[in-house]
Amino acid sequence: MKICCIGAGYVGGPTMAMIAKQCPDIPVHVVDLNQARIDAWNSDNLPIYEPGLDEVVKEARGRNLTFSTNVDEAIAEADMIFISVNTPTKTFGIGAGRAANLEFIEKCARQIAKVSKGHKIVVEKSTLPVRTAEAVKRILSSSGNGATFDVLSNPEFLAEGTAVEDLLDPDRVLIGGESPESIKALCDVYAHWIDRDRILTTNLWSSELSKLTANAFLAQRVSSINAISALCEATGADVDEVARAIGTDSRIGPKFLKASIGFGGSCFQKDILNLVYLCEHFGLREVAAYWEQVVIMNDHQKQRFSERIVKTLFNTVSDKKIAVWGFAFKKDTNDTRESAAIYVCRDLLRERARLTIYDPQVPEKSIRAELTAACSDMQGQISENDKRLIEQNVTVVSDCYEASKDAHAIAVLTEWDEFKELDFDRIFQAMQQPAFVFDGRNLLDHQKLSKVGFELHAIGKCR
Ligand SMILES: NC(=O)C1=CN([C@@H]2O[C@H](COP(=O)(O)OP(=O)(O)OC[C@H]3O[C@@H](n4cnc5c(N)ncnc54)[C@H](O)[C@@H]3O)[C@@H](O)[C@H]2O)C=CC1
Ligand SMILES: O=C(O)[C@H]1O[C@H](OP(=O)(O)OP(=O)(O)OC[C@H]2O[C@@H](n3ccc(=O)[nH]c3=O)[C@H](O)[C@@H]2O)[C@H](O)[C@@H](O)[C@@H]1O
């Protein structure tokens, strides 16, 4: 058995590294068109930051784990080909802003069809609209060179920041397919380290749809608690207390009830919009509207937070310095895709605030690129005004102390653990007075900070 994976991103890289680590008998070849990304996978400086990933890669790389740009060669040699390319929201044409852009999936299928000989198992690892396998199968079956294919759906449930733990000890592995032999072949790979009773098998369509549904349910919980956070702020209830009170009900459970400035990441919004688009396609308007509300609530939460900052700072942040702590969409990742921080920063910039941004893992060029994209229209055009604001009003610094010096306010946008350990007396002394903290993650010790002298504003807490 030889494995190839097309796409060396946040999913392809860690997932294949784990398979290679746990299955020393299986050669795993990860390929990507992006030479810089492949070079990074082959270096000591991996392209993604994930706790524990360096060790996993080091153990397997050079033994049975290879990274390269030789897509054709890797496909030709493999018995099992994972497709793990990006499936972003379409930004053009029919379904723009909602449907998944399946261009990269289709290109992979065509490439596989062109290069393959003999029999191959093709595994959808990317998150896809239900019934994509139908299109993949049709493309593969027109290969014309006598090759035969089975298509499986094997969606990935890892979360960034905990990818290694999630891959090592997943709640479940899901495999959808038609051919018992192909399903068994993939089960055998995972069974190297995962109990068989945690490997679920379904039909293809259930598997594809379960992935979208899981993300929709998770995002819905975040939007639900965030909706309640607004009511808490208006009434004097405390959202963390409410979350604890409802989370102890075993039917509700305690996870994914942390109120925040809104969910980010490359997938929740994309996958819900994809679900919405699918529902509309099948004429299920009410169902589409129900799920779309999760995204609408999330946008509202981000906007509410930046508005609260402006209102609290005497209705103007123009020329005020605001220290932004954290830019990644959650802690323990360098990923900024759809991070709520982008939109909060954009809104504050448009109010002419001066932002000093610090994130332990996100480089300056990613911060500037994300802000530029968020200020641009779908064609990538940005106004001169926004461009100037990003150039002149954004400074990226190397720690929280530097970010907060002379600042009027601190906005905590990512829940990095290191933010809890700082010398808050020192920070307070160096700030403009009154010194405000807007804790968008309810991360800090609010009582302690109030004693130091800060004026604290937190999510779902009334002052
Ligand atoms: N990021 C995450 O935590 C999770 C993502 N997913 C899903 O997994 C899929 C991949 O996501 P990410 O890894 O985050 O994306 P990514 O953007 O980090 O990586 C995708 C990679 O595929 C490469 N690629 C695209 N077309 C290619 C082609 N024709 N040949 C070779 N390489 C090609 C790109 O250059 C890129 O490096 C998406 O469908 C996503 O929804 C699922 C679970 C978790
Ligand atoms: O398909 C995917 O891409 C993945 O999406 C999520 O994983 P991820 O986006 O990496 O991270 P999460 O831990 O789910 O957090 C998503 C966002 O929700 C926010 N969040 C999460 C939980 C919570 O209680 N409150 C909250 O605001 C986080 O800060 C973050 O911005 C899912 O958890 C994974 O199972 C799934 O595989």
Show me where the domains of the chain are located.
Answer: 3-202, 268-458
Q: Which of 169, 222, 270, 338 for a ligand 2 pocket mutation test, highest count of atoms within 8 Å of Cβ?
A: 222
Which CATH number does 3-202 carry? 3.40.50.720
Find the helix packing angle between 340-350 and 384-393, rounded to 10°: 100
Query: Which phi and psi angles does 26 have, rounded to 5°?
Result: -110, 120
The answer, yes or no, to whether any atom of ligand 2 lies below 6 A from the CB of 263, is yes
pLDDT in tens, the chain (463 residues): 999 999 999 999 999 999 999 999 999 999 999 999 999 999 999 999 999 999 999 999 999 999 999 999 999 999 999 999 999 999 899 999 999 999 999 999 999 999 999 999 999 999 999 999 999 999 999 888 899 999 999 999 999 999 999 999 999 999 999 999 999 999 999 999 999 999 999 999 999 999 999 999 999 999 999 999 999 999 999 999 999 999 999 999 999 999 999 999 999 999 999 999 999 999 999 999 999 999 999 999 999 999 999 999 999 999 999 999 999 999 999 999 999 999 999 999 999 999 999 999 999 999 999 999 999 998 889 999 999 999 999 999 999 999 999 999 999 999 999 999 999 999 999 999 999 999 999 999 999 999 999 999 999 998 7
d(CA 397, CA 30): 35
Choose, from 4, 5, 23, 267, the residue flagged as catalytic. 267
- Residues recorded for the chain: 463
| Cβ contact 140:114 at 8 Å | no
The ligand minimizing its distance to the Cα of 261 is: 2
The region, left, alpha or beta by phi > 0 then psi within -120 to 50, assigned to residue 92 is beta
Centroid of ligand 2 to alpha carbon of 159 (angstroms): 6
Between the alpha carbon of residue 231 and those of residues 38, 76, 131, 299, 459, the distances in Å are 47, 57, 40, 16, 10
d(CA 463, CA 460): 10
Atom of ligand 1 nearest to the CA of 104: 26
Which CATH number does 268-458 carry? 3.40.50.720
| ipTM > 0.95 (yes/no) | yes
The answer, yes or no, to whether any atom of ligand 2 lies below 6 A from the CB of 157, is yes
Please confirm whether the linkage preceding 434 is cis (ω < 30° from 0). yes
Say whether 268-458 and 3-202 share the same fold. Answer: yes
What SS3 state is found at 355?
strand
- What value does the CA radius of gyration of the chain take, rounded to a whole number of Å? 23
The answer, yes or no, to whether any atom of ligand 1 lies below 6 A from the CB of 85, is yes
Q: Would the pTM of this model clear 0.95, i.e. be above it?
A: yes
| Cβ contact 433:407 at 8 Å | no
Centroid of ligand 2 to alpha carbon of 326 (angstroms): 16
Q: Is 187 a known active-site residue? A: no
Q: Which of 49, 261, 330 for a ligand 2 pocket mutation test, highest count of atoms within 8 Å of Cβ?
A: 330
Atom of ligand 2 nearest to the CA of 329: 31
